[in-house]
Amino acid sequence: MTAGDKVLEINGEGLRDIIDLSFSFAEEEIDMLVEHENGEQEMISFDKDVDEELGAEFASAVFDGMRKCANNCYFCFVNMVAPGMRKSLSVKDDDYRMSFLYGNFITMTNMVEEDFKRIEKYHLSPLFISVQAMNPRLRAEMMRCGRAAEIVAQLDRLEQAGADYHTQVVLCAGLNDGEELERTIREIAARRPHVLSLAIVPVGITRHRRDPYPLKQFDREGAEAVILQVKEWQEKSRKETGETFVYLGDEFYFLAGRDLPPEEEYDGFPQLDNGIGLTRNFLCDWEQEKEEISSFSRCPCRLDVVSGTAVAPVMEGLAEQAMACGENLRVRVVPVPNRHFGETVNVSGLLTGRDILRALQEAGGERDGILLPESALRAGEDVFLDDISLKDLRQAFPEARIEPVRTGRDYCRALHDWENYHKERAGETDYMWQSNAGYTK
């Protein structure tokens, strides 16, 4: 097989995705029908061990096309992406296979009985479900899709298929919060143990939103009310099961001016890829790395740390710890206002290359190095959301070495031992694009 080949069938069975491929390839005798780039088809037959893999990489995990979202949600982040940006940012996926394979959240509004049967046959679990509200009328209204009202029956069917699942609520002020959130938590919690967790994230709104529905974001008072409401359920759950079960996005704590929950209340971070507990996990990584550090940079070092505005105080606090350990170190955190999406979008993962470039130029001064949030780069590529490359940024600041930082361990190592720090990104991924929440990669 060579690049550009398509695997059409294995042992006479057509392939819809890598799930079919994995199950078909479990046989020891393989007849594989391949179509070459020139259109010619070839049957390749061979014997293999039961646990032997094909050893090929595929351009996509689904061979029959990504399933698109059938909804037009009030809060859809894809609809708020600026025109002219990378096409992949405008893909509204809602594919249960991607949910199983990569943890993408789905609404299930485009699923049919055959899909649930396949989930049962292949034991596709866990999945990740965007609930938003357990009130059927409200859910259909928020998602502008009549089938969204079938959430109860669909969750029942998912459980009948033997699948467990994580859930998410994108919380919109004055819409699905308050009594509606109470109902949602109550009904989702009643579905344990099939439901593994419930994440609640605040709606993200960019300046490019054109939807006429008047969405509202949370202010300090509103965030505090959500924290207090959810805290009762968290305490109740810990008493009953020993786990918190309901988790809030970091933004609620930042908005309310509260400290983040301790590590033990995140129960191993079951929704870290959804951004839940991201900052606490970062702090834990920092502390673990700090205990292992035995050497510090000896040469004078001036570092600029690029950050989203929400997490900038956290980055500054850690920088102060590092500077207290080494008198040769000077760290300046550069919070970057998100002019591209709008300054209410304040997470590091949505910073564009142009906004970072502008903020660093405006900060001015001398610098030996620049640390960038790796979450702002496209996974597997050194490219920002606006297609500005890491190479472009390095050319703009030739006097400074520029390195990405992904974890608290990276940040700790970079500040304490900048001379030897270099970030190898191969094999790492950041938390993923959620089309119904304010996170991306």
Dump pLDDT digits (tens) for 123-166. Answer: 999 999 999 999 999 999 999 999 999 999 999 999 999 999 99
CA distance 24 to 291: 47
Above 50 in pLDDT, residue 41? Answer: yes
Both tokens assigned to 375: 């979450």
Cα-Cα-Cα-Cα torsion 301, 305, 387, 203, nearest 10 degrees, comes to: 170
Place of tokens 């834990």: 284
Both tokens assigned to 223: 């965030």
283-420 maps to which CATH number?
Answer: 3.40.50
Which residue from 40, 42, 44 is spatially nearest to 31, judged by alpha carbons?
44
Whether the CA torsion 161, 167, 172, 178 is positive or negative: it is positive
Which ranges in the chain are annotated with CATH 3.80.30?
78-276
pLDDT at 56: 76
pTM for this one?
0.90
Least reliable range by pLDDT among 21-35, 228-242, 292-306, 385-399: 292-306
pLDDT at 440: 30
Which ranges in the chain are annotated with CATH 3.40.50?
283-420
Q: What value does the mean pLDDT of the chain take?
A: 91
Above 70 in pLDDT, residue 437? Answer: no
In order, the DSSP letters of 399-431 are TSEEEEE-SHHHHHHHHH-GGG-----TT---S
Least reliable range by pLDDT among 33-47, 289-303, 327-341: 289-303
Of how many residues is the chain composed? 441
pLDDT at 426: 58
pLDDT at 4: 84
pLDDT-derived band at 438, boundaries 50, 70, 90:
very low
Whether the CA torsion 248, 254, 257, 260 is positive or negative: it is positive
Residues near 371 by beta carbon (within 8 Å), at least 6 away in sequence: 303, 304, 305, 306, 402, 403, 404, 405, 411, 414
Both tokens assigned to 120: 């049962």
Above 70 in pLDDT, residue 325? Answer: yes
Residue 108 gets the label, from left (phi > 0), alpha (psi -120 to 50) or beta, of left
pLDDT at 50: 76
pLDDT at 292: 87
| Percent share of the chain, pLDDT over 90 | 73
Least reliable range by pLDDT among 72-86, 305-319, 322-336: 72-86
pLDDT at 185: 98
Residue 314 CA from chain centroid, whole number: 20
Cβ(125)–Cβ(100) under 8 Å? Answer: yes
In order, the DSSP letters of 331-381 are EEEEEE--TTT-TT---GGG--HHHHHHHHHHH-S--SEEEEEGGGBPTTS
Above 80 in pLDDT, residue 433? Answer: no
| Percent share of the chain, pLDDT over 70 | 94
Sheet harboring 29-35: ordered strands across?
A: 13-14, 6-10, 29-35, 41-47
Task: Choose which CATH entry (3.30.9, 3.40.1000, 3.80.30, 2.60.40) describes domain 78-276.
Answer: 3.80.30
CA distance 304 to 397: 12
CA contacts within 13 A on the Cβ side of 151? 25
- Mean pLDDT over 288-308 rounds to 86
